[in-house]
Chains A and B, each alone.
Chain A
Amino acid sequence: MDKKVLIKLSDLKKDYVNEDVATEVLKGINLEISQGEFVAIMGPSGSGKSTLMHIMGFLDKLTLGKYFFKGKDVSNLSDDELAEIRNEEVGFIFQAFNLLQRTSVYDNVRLPLTYSSKKFDKNKVITSIKAVGLYHRLNNLSNQLSGGEKQRVAIARSLVNDPSIIFADEPTGNLDSKSGKQIMEILQDLNDHGKTIILVTHEKYTAEHARRILKIVDGEIIDDYQVKERLIARLEKDLTK
């Protein structure tokens, strides 16, 4: 790959200290992710895959090692600096959708811009909602949506600040297979248009929609390969119907 390196981790370690007992969750991770990649991180629960995502997504701090983001050392940022970088560079999609309850689609998607220092632009919100095919649901409340629609709102929310990278943590985990397929289709589509996506999953089937798979066991990367024949999610029906 000759594309620009987005994330570079060198010998990254993470310990959790609980009642004076330190547990080593990540044991020296070395990793490079370039712009435009679609990486699936796989591993059983407790393997450290979520912790790795949290650190790369600036939600958690590393214990040892270095983290370079867009070439800049971001290993030791303060809480507020992390919040700022999350707001500007990162989009998150969670397994449980995490929408604001009884709040409109529009307001949910708008949320990250509330915390942005940039001038608010309504068009960004509308564009994001159109990108996931939910413009007709603009003023519906979050609790009036189906699971698949909720996750699409979450995707629109992750896109609204035009992030450098999107982290999706088990995005299809709470969905039926049809809705899950739809979500994967949107993610693949976004990736085709140049978005860098990191997908965390424990399902091989879901992971094979990515272009590259990392396997983590016990805090170490045991496998890292390009998917030869990746699965393409395509629904026959139009999204908006």
Chain B
Amino acid sequence: MELASSLRIAFTGLKSKKTRTFLTMLGIIIGISSVIMIISVGAGAQSLILNQIKALGSNQISIFPGASEEAGPPPSVFGSANTSLKVSDMVALENAQNVPNVEAITYYVRGSATMNWQGNEFNGTFVATTASYPIVHDISVAEGRFIDTEEEKNLSKVVVLGATVKKELFGDQEALGQLIKIKKHQFRVIGVMTAKGTSGFENQDNYVFIPISTGQKIMLGIDYISLARIKVNSSENVNQAVEDIKAVLRDQHHLDSKELDDFTVRAQAQAIEIFSSITDSLTYFLAAIAAISLLVGGIGIMNIMLINVTERTREIGLRKALGAKRKNILSQFLIESIAVTLFGGIIGIIFGILMSLLVALIARWLGYNWDFVISVSAVFLSCSISVLVGLFFGLYPAFKASELNPIEALQYE
């Protein structure tokens, strides 16, 4: 018997009990749509977090002063000032022969200060840094220019304002060329940054930028730096660059082979990996819970198929009397249950995609940079799971049907 006529028989059977067929499908529809939705929302949330990390610069390496455990946080997190990193170390790193894959290096110290212009005050953070800061942090200047390499070294009192600071101090007035007070020192405004909003857990719009030498010597009276960030030319070269940086710094600090690093080098990629694995495992955990409803749906299907077999005992008897073999009856009922689950699965996939789209639209409306992600593999997986559920839970009822004795089945009341 050809597949086409098996399918025809199966669908005629299903069509005659529309309500029941739909209710049977419901379990599968709910199960599959939950799985699709959870995977999609999980992927959306993951990309949201990863985008924030990547906003720091995707090929970045951070250097912190002081030693740390391999997987633990750098010591600066605990607030202890560590003086092990110097500008001279940075100069050694900037030498292209030492770390060949470096695209840009920037480093800085920070402090908080009250800024003042004609009576307008703003309590913010000054970042004393180098000319390459915008390259590494992927930010740009809206007006004027950033600190240049000359100013970086010769204690210039120039400042670049973050977008919020500019607005707070100057409102709509022209800021370029004006003198503002930071602590007790006069700084000339040479640029204003483009507004960027919160990214990577900090808001650069609240910062002002001054040359590193000015920050160290005039504002803070120190000779060390608190953090360095390095942009590598491609992500494949990050690991090599980390090794190169460590070697350079150990050499700079005259550490012999027995001494541990007095600094910490961390790649941004590590953070991405950690976040990815956390969100991945959360997603799969939730999807697995949703998949339990598929099991429940499957049991519902077995139940209904058993009722079907009992109700249609006479029909089975007739088919056998007219020449249906065991395998014909088996395949008829198997195809019926697979058709129910596959069709339910397809409806579930469509419904799940619509729900995921809704979540994405709401998230975007709330202002998140949310990606609407539907994984093709999840869709195919859902389809195959639907078919397997139908096959698995349809097998027993179908087998029961195929075993019926034609005479007894024909006389069944």
Stretch of B174-182, B322-330, B380-388 contacting A (4+ beta carbons < 8 Å): B322-330
Which single residue of chain A is at the shortest CB-CB distance from B5? A114
Q: Is B54 an interface residue (CB 8 A)?
A: no
Q: Which residues of chain B come closer than 8 Å to A94, judged between CB atoms? A: 410
- Bound together, the chains give a CA A115 to CA B6 distance in angstroms of 10
Q: Which residues of chain A come closer than 8 Å to B328, judged between CB atoms? A: 115
Q: Judging by beta carbons under 8 Å apart, are B406 and A102 in contact?
A: no
Q: Which residues of chain A come closer than 8 Å to B5, judged between CB atoms? A: 114
Q: Is B16 an interface residue (CB 8 A)?
A: yes
Q: Contact size class for A? A: 20 to 34
| Minimal beta-carbon separation of B398 from chain A (angstroms) | 16
Which single residue of chain B is at the shortest CB-CB distance from A84? B323
Q: Is A173 an interface residue (CB 8 A)?
A: no
Q: Mark B309-332, 1 if CB is under 8 A from A, else 0.
A: 000001101111111111010000
Q: Which residues of chain A come closer than 8 Å to B317, judged between CB atoms? A: 98
Q: Is B9 an interface residue (CB 8 A)?
A: yes
From B1, B9, B321, B326, A59 is in contact (CB under 8 Å) with: B321
- Bound together, the chains give a CA A43 to CA B9 distance in angstroms of 38
- Bound together, the chains give a CA A59 to CA B315 distance in angstroms of 15
Within 8 A of A (CB), among B246-303: none
- Whether A92 touches B325, Cβ cut-off 8 Å, given contacts A60-B407, A100-B315, A101-B16, is no
Q: Judging by beta carbons under 8 Å apart, are B410 and A86 in contact?
A: no
- Whether A115 touches B407, Cβ cut-off 8 Å, given contacts A80-B326, A83-B324, is no
- Bound together, the chains give a CA A88 to CA B323 distance in angstroms of 8
Query: Would you call the interface of chain B mostly helix, strand, loop, or mixed?
Result: helix
| Minimal beta-carbon separation of B315 from chain A (angstroms) | 6
- Bound together, the chains give a CA A194 to CA B5 distance in angstroms of 32
Q: Is A54 an interface residue (CB 8 A)?
A: yes
Q: Mark A120-164, 1 if CB is under 8 A from B, else 0.
A: 000000000000000000000000000000000000010001000
Q: Is B123 an interface residue (CB 8 A)?
A: no
Q: Is A103 an interface residue (CB 8 A)?
A: yes
Q: Is A112 an interface residue (CB 8 A)?
A: yes
| Minimal beta-carbon separation of B352 from chain A (angstroms) | 34
Which single residue of chain A is at the shortest CB-CB distance from B9? A114
Q: Is A224 an interface residue (CB 8 A)?
A: no
Q: Judging by beta carbons under 8 Å apart, are A83 and B323 in contact?
A: yes
- Whether A102 touches B16, Cβ cut-off 8 Å, given contacts A60-B407, A114-B1, A115-B328, is yes
Q: Judging by beta carbons under 8 Å apart, are B322 and A86 in contact?
A: yes
| Minimal beta-carbon separation of B307 from chain A (angstroms) | 16
Q: Is A5 an interface residue (CB 8 A)?
A: no
Which single residue of chain B is at the shortest CB-CB distance from A86? B323
Q: Judging by beta carbons under 8 Å apart, are A112 and B323 in contact?
A: yes
Q: Is B12 an interface residue (CB 8 A)?
A: yes
Which single residue of chain B is at the shortest CB-CB distance from A91? B322
| Minimal beta-carbon separation of A57 from chain B (angstroms) | 8
From A60, A88, A103, A115, B1 is in contact (CB under 8 Å) with: A115
- Whether A84 touches B325, Cβ cut-off 8 Å, given contacts A98-B318, A115-B1, is yes
Q: Is A177 an interface residue (CB 8 A)?
A: no
Q: Judging by beta carbons under 8 Å apart, are B315 and A115 in contact?
A: no
22 contacts between A and B (CB under 8 A): A59-B406, A59-B407, A80-B326, A83-B320, A83-B323, A83-B326, A86-B321, A86-B323, A88-B323, A92-B322, A98-B317, A98-B318, A100-B315, A102-B16, A103-B12, A111-B318, A114-B5, A114-B324, A115-B323, A115-B325, A157-B322, A161-B323
Interface positions of B (Cβ within 8 A of A): 1, 5, 9, 12, 16, 314-315, 317-326, 328, 406-407, 410
Top 5 nearest A-B pairs (CB, nearest first) are A87-B323, A115-B323, A112-B322, A83-B325, A98-B318
Give me 13 other A-B pairs in contact (C-beta within 8 A), A59-B321, A94-B410, A98-B317 excluded.
Answer: A54-B407, A83-B326, A87-B322, A98-B314, A101-B16, A103-B12, A111-B318, A114-B5, A114-B324, A115-B323, A115-B324, A115-B328, A157-B322
